[in-house]
A and B are shown apart, each in its own frame.
Chain A
Amino acid sequence: MTKFEDELKAGNFVTSECMHCMKIVWPPSDYCDNCFRDVNWRKVSLDGKIIEWSKKGNDVFCIAEFEKTIQIMGKIDGNINALKYGQMIKLTKCLLEDKHRFFFSLTNN
């Protein structure tokens, strides 16, 4: 299991980051995709924005972007008719079961 998955299993959403190139390395990797140095790992800000969304059955799912770089797909707790491009969301939960799972909720602003 990778560092990213270890942390996800513990409920933490982390990213790799290169302190030499001063950049987020995403998708998560053990080495910087620019300089191949070892990366550092840190928690990702939980505040993001909606890029795109749709619905399957009762599940509303979306692409959410964090720190202007990291995009992931997950379930959003909210009325699909209330969603807008660029709307602010918060990552409320992440976990690793049979699949990687991310959950978001709308924020007030």
Chain B
Amino acid sequence: MNKVAIVGCGNTKFTKDELPIESLLLESTKNVFDTTRNLSQDIVDGVIVSTNDNSKYLGAILSELSGIKPKISHTVEHLCSSGTSAVISGFSYIASGLADIILIAGADKIGNPGQVLEWDKSRGEFNHPIYWASMFTKAHKRKFNTTEEELAIVSAKNHKQAIDNPNAYSHKPYTISEIMNSKNVTDDLRILDCSYPCSGSSSIILASEDLAKKFTDLPIWISGIGQKTNSASFMKNQLTTFSSSVIAANDAYNMAKITSKEIDVAEIHDAFSVCELMAVEDLNLAERNTGATYTRNLFNTEDRKINPRGGLIGAGHPLGATGISQVVEITQQLQNNAEKRQISGAKKGLVHNMSAAATSSSVLILES
């Protein structure tokens, strides 16, 4: 299997603006071309779009708007983890030898239709993500005695970290008290414990080992991949662990031949505060039953190891862009190019992206 590197990155700002999906995709793609040396349209073998938008044929449309005539172009949709699913598709084309250079562009608009899985009838009228998040939160409180303050710390940390992310949706810091006293969405969920849908786009360029250094002196290698789909129905989930994430993480660590202890920085899918507390344990970044203590320590010591760009809660959650934006952040961290967000000496990073209440998960390991 050929090695695959990330050699270029691009982002738009995440906003409330209702922009055309094609414009969003083109903007982050332009950003990649503007910032990646020696990248020209004629050498791009594939264009893969990640989105939940209802527009059709976006791979071809983005190719045309970008002046690319690729061998491969298509869209990947997998709800909130569309982004990492597209990255894994691009990886596979290059690893198999079918392509050498692939553009992955992800985007969604603020009102995108990927937020509610209409097919899942077992959720009844409670089909919005706030309801599964309330069930996870209530179960976590009941099993682990998790407090409102421990949940609020996740949000306070990620909002604070987002201040140094120029592309984040939110640049406003919140105190733990403000978060705990923010509007009740349900009895178990505050509005500031929720990530916000928004408009935004992120793109990367993947390259084969032979070509990687043409574009950057610091290619970042995708060394581990794990993906698992347990179901589509939320009602088949356990409520206090993301079992799909556990499996995906183990597969990714095994492929990269590393342990979780070697991870220097991680982007975690904090769709809601409780998700980060669960995920740090499921990814084995924190010991079992210590997720809240682990997160409190990060907050108190201003350690940005988890979600340095602000996570989904601080940066916003444009579904199709999210996984790619997470990859961009870890890439910049490993290139020592993350400015105020930089984790000193980061060599190995992890991306955790999941869909529909963690019925499926993706985990990527990146290394410099």
Contact = CB atoms under 8 A, between A and B. Distances in A.
Contacts, number: 67
A56 B125 contact: no
A27 B126 contact: no
Contact of A101 (B125, B135, B185, B233): B125
A8 to B, nearest CB: 8
Interface stretch (B35-43, B78-86, B95-103, B116-124): B116-124
A87 interface: no
Given A55-B186, A61-B131, A71 B122 contact: yes
B233 A52 contact: no
Nearest to B134: A54
A56 B121 CA distance: 20
Chain B interface category by residue count? 20 to 34
A85 interface: yes
A90 B187 CA distance: 23
B185 A52 contact: no
A41 interface: no
Contact of B124 (A52, A54, A74): A74
Contact of B121 (A27, A54, A61, A80): A27
Interface string A48-90: 0001111110000101000000111111000010000100000
Contact of B187 (A26, A56, A100): A56
Interface string B128-141: 00110011011100
Interface of A: 4-5, 26-28, 51-56, 61, 63, 70-75, 80, 85, 99-102
The 4 closest A-B pairs by CB, nearest first: A71-B235, A54-B134, A55-B187, A99-B125
Given A52-B135, A56-B186, A72-B235, 19 more contacts: A26-B122, A27-B120, A27-B121, A27-B233, A54-B131, A54-B138, A54-B189, A61-B126, A61-B131, A70-B122, A71-B236, A73-B123, A73-B131, A74-B125, A74-B126, A80-B187, A99-B127, A100-B125, A101-B125
